[in-house]
């Protein structure tokens, strides 16, 4: 059980949460929540007109709501906003979204009662994930529709996936021994304003990208050995002169992975001057991608525990202030998600080019398509085509969602971020990139086998063994799809990443 301090969230903690660790807020956060709820009670009792507490929403903000209809106001807000479409959000992303909502509320500026936090916590503890359609948010005024579906489930509306069984929300709550949540003033708005859906999906993409990056780094090193490529471009002195941190780290990792390779030693004075860019420029290209991913990680770590609802409450000696601003606008998340996509596109593109070199006998000096008895056997001819198709698909997904905007709410919300679209695209691109890297792992392992009895490095021998446990050496043509899919899954779940982590 992780005890969460919303004011001290790290990337490592978010990685644990993404992987399903149990979590709850610390006592200090609960105290701040109680103090913020008391501020809302004082505002309501004082009769002051405050947006979202006793007014309508959006363009209807000028409509003052009578005290006896405040509960109805919050209920109608949730029901009217529960209008998403599309496939259900994956359970692990929904879980992360709930935790992020708890973190934001735990900062103590949202005005919800502790009962709301306990209802969200019960979903986590009971493995009860609201069924949340993945489409319907434009990433401004908060992720309104997805968060409304989460909140509606607490109220007994919609559906809940209870430990893998999909039930009407009211039935699931009854099985959990919980009554439907009744919202107080401000609480519905606090729950649906916020960037938690976009941020959860973007974090899912980020951690997928982290694993894909690590696997691509390993595959790229193995491909260098398969080509009998030079390690000189990875000399730390070259990268130090440029000074880019990602490049420096990648060059160091490639040098470490290839250290001790008998294949490298065998061609120390071979006379080859330069390898293709996809091999020798790995520090420059992969390093630039790494810098993008690190920047995205910083943005999303900050956003994970940010206060992103509206209005935001401040209390002090001079009284209580409820200030309407725009923290719900998810532009930082949109930019982060789009840069994850750009980085993944380049990682996959570079990987596919190495595959192409290795299967081309004119470039690699190896048998055509890395198969014996060519002609009867096609070898790795068509797996390279699959990799090329995935790269092409990624390019079609690479147009940044963050530069688009469609005004909503009768023009009141006249600029939106499209962060959830950017984040969902990044997840799709990560899966495609993992498929490309899977093909490179097969290709590079096959290429290294042709250099026997010369052995690759100890580090890469472990990678080679992991690949061969899933995809045996190619002796003659066989059915490829299953082992390629299995390697793609191994890339996505981190088994091929060599323990690579962002933030180091």
Q: Which residues are catalytic?
A: 51
Q: Between the CA of residue 414 and those of 58, 195, 386, what are the distances in Å?
A: 11, 17, 41
Half-sphere exposure in the Cβ direction for 115 (13 Å, CA): 13
Instruction: Give long-range contacts, CB 8 A cutoff, 24+ apart: 30-33.
Output: 30/106, 30/114, 30/117, 31/108, 32/106, 32/107, 32/108, 33/105, 33/106, 33/108, 33/110, 33/112, 33/113, 33/114, 33/117
First to last CA, the chain: 25
DSSP per residue, 190-226: HHHSSSHHHHHHHHHHHHHHHHHHHHHHHHHHHHHHH
Contact 322, 312 (CB under 8 A): yes
Element of type H or E holding 319: strand 319-323
Helical axes 144-154 vs 114-125, angle rounded to 10°: 90
CA atoms within 13 A on the CB side of 384: 19
For residues 367 and 446, the answer to whether their CB atoms sit within 8 Å is no
Q: Which tokens go with 81?
A: 């906003």
Give the span between the Cα atoms of 167 and 159, in whole angstroms: 6
Beta strand 319-323 pairing with 128-130: unpaired
402: helix, strand or coil: helix
Residue 112 sits at the vertex; the CA angle it makes with 109 and 118, to the nearest 5 degrees, is: 120
């Amino acid at each position: 059980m992780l005890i969460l301090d919303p004011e001290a969230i790290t990337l490592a903690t978010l990685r644990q949460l993404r992987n399903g660790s149990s979590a709850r807020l610390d006592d200090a956060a609960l105290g701040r929540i109680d103090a913020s709820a008391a501020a809302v009670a004082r505002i309501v009792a004082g009769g002051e007109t405050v947006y979202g507490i006793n007014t309508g929403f959006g363009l209807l903000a000028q409509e003052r709501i009578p005290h006896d209809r405040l509960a109805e106001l919050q209920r109608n807000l949730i029901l009217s906003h529960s209008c998403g479409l599309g496939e259900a959000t994956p359970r692990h992303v929904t879980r992360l979204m709930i935790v992020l909502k708890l973190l934001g509320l735990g900062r103590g500026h949202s005005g919800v009662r502790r009962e709301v936090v306990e209802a969200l916590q019960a979903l986590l503890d009971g493995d009860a994930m609201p069924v949340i359609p993945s489409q319907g948010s434009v990433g401004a005024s908060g992720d309104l529709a997805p968060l409304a579906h989460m909140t509606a489930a607490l109220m007994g509306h919609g559906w809940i996936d209870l430990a893998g069984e999909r039930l009407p929300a009211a039935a699931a709550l009854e099985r959990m021994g919980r009554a439907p949540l009744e919202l107080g003033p401000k609480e519905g708005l606090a729950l649906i304003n916020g960037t938690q859906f976009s941020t959860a999906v973007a974090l899912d993409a980020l951690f997928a990208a982290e694993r894909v990056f690590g696997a691509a780094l390993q595959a790229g090193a193995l491909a260098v050995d398969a080509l009998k490529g030079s390690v000189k471009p990875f000399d730390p002195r070259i990268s130090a002169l440029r000074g880019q941190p990602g490049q420096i780290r990648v060059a160091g990792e490639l040098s470490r992975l290839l250290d001790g390779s008998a294949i490298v030693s065998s061609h120390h004075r071979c006379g080859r001057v330069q390898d293709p860019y996809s091999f020798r420029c790995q520090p420059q290209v992969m390093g630039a991608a790494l810098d993008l991913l690190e920047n995205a990680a910083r943005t999303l770590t900050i956003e994970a525990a940010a206060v992103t609802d509206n209005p935001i409450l401040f209390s002090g000696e001079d009284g209580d202030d409820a200030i309407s601003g725009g923290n719900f606008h998810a532009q930082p998340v949109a930019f982060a998600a789009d840069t994850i996509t750009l980085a993944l596109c380049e990682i996959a593109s570079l990987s596919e080019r190495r595959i192409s070199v290795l299967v081309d006998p004119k470039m690699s000096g190896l048998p055509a398509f890395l198969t014996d008895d060519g002609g009867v056997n096609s070898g790795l001819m068509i797996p390279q085509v699959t990799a090329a198709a995935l790269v092409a698909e990624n390019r079609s997904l690479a147009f940044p969602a963050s530069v688009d905007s469609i005004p909503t709410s009768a023009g009141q919300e006249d600029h939106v971020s499209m962060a959830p679209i950017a984040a969902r695209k990044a997840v799709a691109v990560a899966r495609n990139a993992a498929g490309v890297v899977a093909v490179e792992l097969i290709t590079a392992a096959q290429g290294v086998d042709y250099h026997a009895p010369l052995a690759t490095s100890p580090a890469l021998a472990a990678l080679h063994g992991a690949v061969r446990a899933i995809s045996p050496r190619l002796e003659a043509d066989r059915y490829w799809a299953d082992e390629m899919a299995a390697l793609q899954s191994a890339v996505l779940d981190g088994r091929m990443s060599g323990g690579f982590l962002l933030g180091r």
